[in-house]
Amino acid sequence: MDMRIIIIPALTLALLLIMAGCSSPSEPVVTPKPTLVPAPALTKPPTAVPTTPASTEPGPVDTLPSEWDLSVTVEKGGMYTRTIIARFDGGKGLMYASRMDVRVTYLDGTVKTDSIIKPRMGDTIEILGSTGTDRVEVTMLMASGGTYKIIDRQMPYRAKD
């Protein structure tokens, strides 16, 4: 009698396993391809990288498409400091921002640059400015490959009175 208690469940289990193996689909399971979200149409062509000698005069800036709106704050570190701080504040285009480049041009034509790859809210770049007026440019590289100069201004040094 003890043998029946062991053999009957074992045979039932074996039969269920055989049926499960035979009931699998004969065709391979096809997973659907992910849907790609198209990038928004560009409203203005991106700015080309300048090939002329460094200038301290600000030039035109680009306007990001409204769905890619970003905010960057540029300021001096304090009243009597030369440190230029560029802070990435984020915006609707946060997930499309691939790189933030900051370029500082000194009065003598010397240029200093720094970048952040895949910037996040609150990321900062600090570059030591001169004791004169420096030109600061902030350029954003977007996931679509477009480059937009969103800030181009002069930052004067405030000497102690």
Contacts of 54 (CB under 8 A, 6+ apart): 105, 109, 110, 111
User: What values do phi and psi take at 134, rounded to 5?
Assistant: -110, 150
Residue 31: its pLDDT value, please? 62
Residue 4: its pLDDT value, please? 77
CA angle, 143 as apex, 142 and 148 as ends, to 5°?
Answer: 15
Q: Which domain holds residue 113?
A: 66-156
Q: How far apart are CA 49 and CA 46, in angstroms?
A: 9
Q: How many residues does the chain have?
A: 161
Q: Is residue 30 part of a domain?
A: no
Q: Which residues pair with 115 in a beta bridge?
A: 101
Structural domain total, the chain = 1
In which order are the strands placed within the sheet that holds 111-117? 111-117, 97-105, 133-142, 147-156
CATH number, domain of 126, equals 2.60.40.1940
Determine the 3-state secondary structure of 117 from DSSP: strand
pLDDT at 37 over 70: no
Picking from 9-13, 32-36, 128-132, which range would have the lowest pLDDT averaged per residue?
32-36
Q: Is residue 112 part of a domain?
A: yes
Q: Is residue 10 part of a domain?
A: no
pTM score, whole prediction: 0.64
Q: Is residue 43 part of a domain?
A: no
Determine the 3-state secondary structure of 67 from DSSP: helix
